[in-house]
A and B are shown apart, each in its own frame.
Chain A
């Protein structure tokens, strides 16, 4: 079935370091791809999305490009801040369904 695989965490970085969190998806249908973020004590928030191949989603300095040839949607940020510490979930929708299929989540810890 449809699935999303993301790198295991925790990812631990120093402030201002470059961030990459890998995400790959099963190549069935024409999914839309999403990144959600969960800050401590809060619910998941949609961070960015891309709906077709080669689209780039971006928000709050984060970017991810929908790569159909590698079935990937890696999350990147050029310079992380302590406030970016959170759990990040990659997700996709299946053909015809708006219910997202989530990955396992990757915890990001940023030290000052």
Chain B
């Protein structure tokens, strides 16, 4: 069974540009999560989808970040325009259902560098 995949693995862009990150969850997982780790700091929650609906987007830092999950399958996270402080590793995770007993499976992350 394929795990969570993310694309690209690395992205280097200049301040002011736009970047779109993609996450493909494990097939059949309705729940999809985005997290971010800024260099050397904690992994922070960004948002949670249940199918195509945003269940919780309390961690989204500002309106330069837009997450979508059309059709309830893969998800994209767009940063527009990117700022220096957006640099970090963006992780995606998926789970069969929501709740503590349902393990979240993480992808390898996308390392974003904003110059």
Contacts and interface: CB of A to CB of B under 8 A. Distances in A.
A45 B108 CA distance: 10
A102 B107 CA distance: 16
Interface string B65-83: 0000000000000000000
Contacts of B45: 99-101
B106 A44 contact: yes
Contact of B56 (A44, A93, A99, A105): A99
Contacts of A69: none
A89 B104 CA distance: 14
A112 interface: no
Which of B48, B98, B104 has the most chain A CB atoms inside 10 A of its CB?
B104
B84 interface: no
Contacts of B107: 43
Interface string B2-13: 011000000000
A103 B103 contact: no
A104 B98 CA distance: 24
B100 A43 contact: no
B49 interface: no
A105 B35 CA distance: 14
Interface of A: 4, 32, 36, 41-46, 51, 89, 93, 98-105
19 contacts: A43-B3, A43-B91, A43-B93, A43-B105, A43-B108, A44-B43, A44-B106, A98-B99, A98-B100, A99-B33, A99-B56, A100-B45, A101-B42, A102-B44, A104-B40, A104-B41, A105-B37, A105-B42, A105-B43
Interface of B: 3-4, 33, 37, 40-45, 48, 56, 91, 93, 98-100, 102-109
Given A93-B100, A100-B104, A101-B45, 9 more contacts: A43-B3, A44-B43, A44-B91, A46-B103, A89-B43, A102-B42, A102-B43, A103-B42, A105-B37
Closest 10 CB pairs of A and B: A43-B106, A102-B43, A44-B106, A98-B100, A43-B108, A43-B107, A102-B42, A99-B45, A104-B42, A98-B99
